[in-house]
Amino acid sequence: MVIGLTGFLFTAVFSCRQVGKPAATEIKTDLPDYFPSLPIPGDNPLTSGKIALGKKLFFDPVLSRHRDLSCASCHLPHLAFTDGQVKSINVGGVPTLRNSPSLFNVAYHPYYFMDGGNPTLESQLISPIENPLEMDLPFPEAIARVAADPEYIRLFKEVFEAKVSAYTLSRAIAAYERSLLSYSSSFDRFYYQGDDEAISADAKAGYKLFSSEKLACNSCHKGVLFTDFKFRHNGLKEDYSKDPGRGRITLKKEDEGKFKTPSLRNVALTAPFMHDGSLKNLEEVIRHYAAGGKQHFNKDSLIMGFEITEKEQRQLIAFLNSLTDTNSYKLHQ
């Protein structure tokens, strides 16, 4: 009964803040039992209409200064919502600061951007839209453009019973991004669903290596999401003056060169790697960690280097390939 009452309170309280009423019924996220339940903020329940509206906006170049880039320009569904570039190219043809991150399972991130500079999925989208190195459009102008489109006016009214605003626009796109879930890889079928035939013998051996004391990749890429979401320095560079990572946000020397541990789900689709896209493929990534990284006062103590044979490297890559979820990206094309 107490649980029921708490549920009532929760629903009632956020009905005070919610804009209008969602036209469609809230979506029930039917996730497999090995996957964490989806965190959904009280003021932004997931509805099919809202997700569809968010998807339309996500793929619409109206949100960039010259109407030539959409969110999807740098987050392509078939590349697990990355873009295959070292760094994305912005409206003026200038590279962005960092490599495009995957958007799969972003709902679970405790903070956004590689340096954690933004707290919520709803608020972070103002950054790529306004950033001169990305879509370069003042947010009020983005809202004005969308609000001038009769089709969007109709859809916002249908979904929110409200007009286009900073609030509703951000909720719609965040709802779509929150729906980008990936949990159906071959490895999931093997490890969580007991299908012994789902991955190869090499991939199984690779997983053992991944979790071994020698490599200990799972010290950081841990759990079902293959990340601990911590800010870590992986020894990629000696000089971080161009991009101090977490240090840019906290201004602390001890955070210089630290970046949020990325998830390894779909990692085989997301090359090139690292925050600056400087490593071309998984072989280069493994060589980097095997060598122990470059010296830096903040380098994580877990980056110590290791010996790995060519066969083991092949096995490790077979395992990483097994984390690719081809079902999820097809859903979003």
329 Cβ contact partners less than 8 Å away, ≥ 6 residues apart = 77, 78, 80, 182, 266, 269
Closest distance of CB 15 from another protein, Å: 8
On whether the CB atoms of residues 169 and 142 are closer than 8 A, the answer is yes
Give first-to-last CA distance, the chain, whole Å.
43
CB nearer another protein, residue 24 or residue 166: 166
Closest distance of CB 46 from another protein, Å: 17
CB nearer another protein, residue 163 or residue 189: 163
3-class DSSP assignment, residue 102: coil
CB nearer another protein, residue 75 or residue 332: 75
CB nearer another protein, residue 16 or residue 201: 16
Q: Please state, in angstroms and rounded to a whole number, the distance separating the CA atoms of residues 139 and 129.
A: 7
Closest distance of CB 175 from another protein, Å: 13
CB nearer another protein, residue 122 or residue 188: 122
Q: Please state, in angstroms and rounded to a whole number, the distance separating the CA atoms of residues 34 and 223.
A: 10
Environment class of 150 (CB within 10 Å of its CB; exposed 0-12, middle 13-18, buried 19+): exposed
Closest distance of CB 16 from another protein, Å: 4
CB nearer another protein, residue 149 or residue 284: 149
Give residues in contact with another protein (CB under 8 A): 1-2, 5, 8-9, 12-13, 16, 19, 97, 113, 117-120, 122-123, 125-128, 130-132, 138-141, 143, 162-163, 165-170, 248-249, 251
Closest distance of CB 284 from another protein, Å: 27
The Cβ of residue 28 has, within 10 Å, a number of other Cβ atoms equal to 7
Closest distance of CB 23 from another protein, Å: 18
CB nearer another protein, residue 201 or residue 251: 251
Closest distance of CB 227 from another protein, Å: 21
Q: Please state, in angstroms and rounded to a whole number, the distance separating the CA atoms of residues 147 and 145.
A: 5
Q: Please state, in angstroms and rounded to a whole number, the distance separating the CA atoms of residues 88 and 34.
A: 34
Q: Please state, in angstroms and rounded to a whole number, the distance separating the CA atoms of residues 82 and 279.
A: 15
DSSP one-letter string for 274-294: STT--B-SHHHHHHHHHHT--
CB nearer another protein, residue 17 or residue 330: 17
Closest distance of CB 8 from another protein, Å: 7
Measured CA to CA in angstroms, residue 77 lies from 62, 74, 89 at distances of 19, 10, 17
Q: Taking Cα atoms as reference points, which of 20, 69, 28, 10 lies closest to residue 172?
A: 20
